[in-house]
Chain A
Amino acid sequence: MGTRKGMEVSIGVAESAAMCDVDVIAAYPITPQTHIVEHLSEIVADGHLDAEFVPVESEHSAMSCCCGSSQAGARTFTATSSQGLELMHEILYVASGMRLPIVMAVANRALSAPINIWNDHGDIMACRDTGWIMVFAENGQEAFDLVPFAFRVAEDAKVQLPIMVNFDGFILSHVIEPIVVWDRSEVQKFLPPFKPAQRLDVDNPWTFGPVGIPDIYSETRMAHNEALKGSRAVIEQAWDELHAVVGRRYRAVEEYETADAEVVFFTMGGVTETCMTAVKALRAKGKKVGIVHLRLFRPFPEEDLRKALLGRKAVVCVDRALSTGFGGPIASEVKSALYGHAGAPPVVEFIAGLGGRDVKIQDFIDMYEEGAKVAAGGPVPPYKLVGVRE
């Protein structure tokens, strides 16, 4: 049944990693992720978790150390944010290319310059193509639950890929929320011990990370892509079992008030809950509006998304990052998923909440109004930055 406790979400993420009995944690401090690794090192120092905490000298070394530790057979966890994620960038591709089941919590934060420690999705959007599985939590409980989920999927013999568990910096990471902590028996039921398919073993020497000449490189990329796409079945199975064990149901694409919705918001991450409040207010005025929100970002759930969006009168896509010189990164993927399909609705693009700018209920109501105009046959406006002063 678990135990309901009030705790800061970062502390929850650390408790969740400890609950998964991780063997090695390699991490470097960066706001707003620091509370996770601080708390994990406390847990280790107090003897509640038998693990090696490696206080590396940079995020680049954090991810490099994780690669070594995972390849040697340890269940490996790290956490980062923003500039730290970017410093790791090079090694993110290696971790996934070498098929290492590392789990990383990312407290999403804006990128410099100007330096800004607050929340948006600029950091993670720069890592879209790194070949990791990526999920987004919308509240503390989800952030907590998605850690054991991530280990289970990452370590599955059919997957063997690293996973990023994303949650919004500060607006989630530093908020105290009620979180149901799993019972030991629930963890044991859900998460089997880590048994690596191959590891660095002196009795059975393998060469890991060799040169891939042109004759083999395309095949390795294809195998990686197939594994990432194929992970979807394992993800669904894990969510089914998570539901069976702790009673909470997760889906790749979630819907809220969509049964008769003509205009739907499309969101990802913590803003979804503010958006829900706005939708309630709009529904009270009789507006046919709902939300389709994305929990699974990679592998990208195109089919589910089409099922949820085709036939609507308009989609209001709320991006938390700007692809500079282009527009909203999520909006572009949504449009690409809808393109050429009958009943594809127009997509109205907004970029909101950059660098910690509040996205208020009224902002969603204003975005809805724009969407409603398009739903009524009005022209699709170019993308806009919400609330920006010109």
Chain B
Amino acid sequence: MSTQLLNVYAAKLLPEQELFASGHRACQGCAPALVLRYAMKALGPDTIVCNATGCMEIISSSYPETAWGVPWMHVAFENAAAVASGVEASLKVLMRKGRIPQRRITVLAQGGDGATLDIGLQALSGALERGHNFIYMCYDNEAYMNTGIQRSGATPFGASTTTSPAGRKDFGKHQSRKDLTAIAVAHHVPYVAQAAISHWQDLSDKALKASQQQGPAFLNVLSGCPLGWGHETKDTIEMVRLAVETRYWPLYEVLDGHFRLNYDVRTPVPLEDWLSRQTRFRHLFQTENKEHLRELQALVDLEWEILAERVKAGAQFFKARPELVGGMA
């Protein structure tokens, strides 16, 4: 079982082969590039990638160069899940008709938070509902970083972005983030997991587990962005780790309706210790905004509590139907 990997130091257990090669154009300290690197090591060469428009597409595919050691396709911003649906349907029928060899191939659709939970939510929902045998992975860096740090549905309450700027009379984003993982769970697919680049063994493990499902799997991976979050490039991993340690970003998975916490944060770091290290939250520490800091901490506490209850309940919240999914035609 892949979960056993968690018990050992696994760096040497991951393949050396780089399917997402270095030499691409990502910024220093880019977390999504690391997410792809480790996810691809876990998924292996029998993978086809459908990339949404965004940072990872731009930095990896500038013709005539490519960072990709696997078949890769980019169509547009909002449709990676729909493109992956077509790839999966095609592989299935061509194998059935004997036009290509029978073989297990992982179809991975991936995109940033904007591409996934804003503009691409419909395509994602459709593909999950139809039950294609594929993985969707969102690298969530909490804003539209590629176009210059505009707010997205994933941007947290209080964060300052170029379209939710903190000003003399405003404190940044007024709304809390969209719970994308819960939205994926609501599709009752076989596997949904939340991961973070700081815990890359857990991430690789979840990618592998996702690829072993029959039917759709969904991964939501917190991925920092020094430019958008406002910290030094060397601190990316630490910033993401703090997001986990503050309980802001719980590492959990939902396998066939069962919630499981992969990392129990028993003594959480105060949220302020994380927020104060990023310029996007700097304004929250001004006297007039202190109340918003408390609101944000309360939100995080409540969300953790709800999740912990579900995990504790040990109940099956839904039944995925792998015998039905991936079985159109």
> Interface residues, chain A, CB within 8 Å of chain B?
23-24, 26, 44, 50-58, 60-62, 64-74, 76, 90-91, 94, 98, 200-202, 204-213, 216
Contact = CB atoms under 8 A, between A and B. Distances in A.
Given A52-B92, A70-B90, A205-B72, 6 more contacts: A68-B90, A73-B94, A207-B61, A208-B72, A208-B73, A212-B63
Contacts, number: 171
B75 A24 contact: no
Task: Sort A-B residue pairs by CB-CB distance and give the 10 closest, nearest first.
Answer: A68-B86, A57-B126, A72-B90, A69-B86, A61-B82, A64-B79, A64-B82, A65-B86, A210-B61, A209-B74
- Scoring A44, A51, A201, A202 by chain B CB atoms within 10 A of each residue's CB, the highest score goes to A202
Categorize the interface residue count of chain B. 35 or more
A26 B130 CA distance: 12
Contacts of A207: 61, 66, 68, 71-72
Interface stretch (B97-105, B137-145, B303-311): B97-105
Given A64-B79, A91-B76, A207-B66, A58 B122 contact: yes
A202 B105 contact: yes
Contact of B328 (A54, A71, A72): A54
B94 A68 contact: no
A210 B90 contact: no
A68 B82 contact: yes
Contact of B94 (A61, A66, A72): A72
Contacts of B89: 24, 26, 52, 54, 65, 68-69, 74
Interface string B108-140: 000000000000001101110110000000000
A58 B93 contact: no
A70 to B, nearest CB: 7
Contacts of B58: 211
Contacts of B81: 61
Nearest to A66: B86
A89 B275 CA distance: 42
B63 A213 contact: yes
B47 interface: yes
Given A56-B82, A69-B90, A72-B48, A210 B62 contact: yes
B189 interface: no
23 contacts: A51-B329, A54-B86, A60-B78, A61-B82, A62-B82, A64-B83, A65-B82, A67-B86, A68-B82, A68-B83, A71-B73, A72-B94, A74-B89, A91-B75, A98-B75, A202-B47, A202-B105, A207-B72, A208-B71, A209-B73, A210-B61, A211-B57, A216-B64
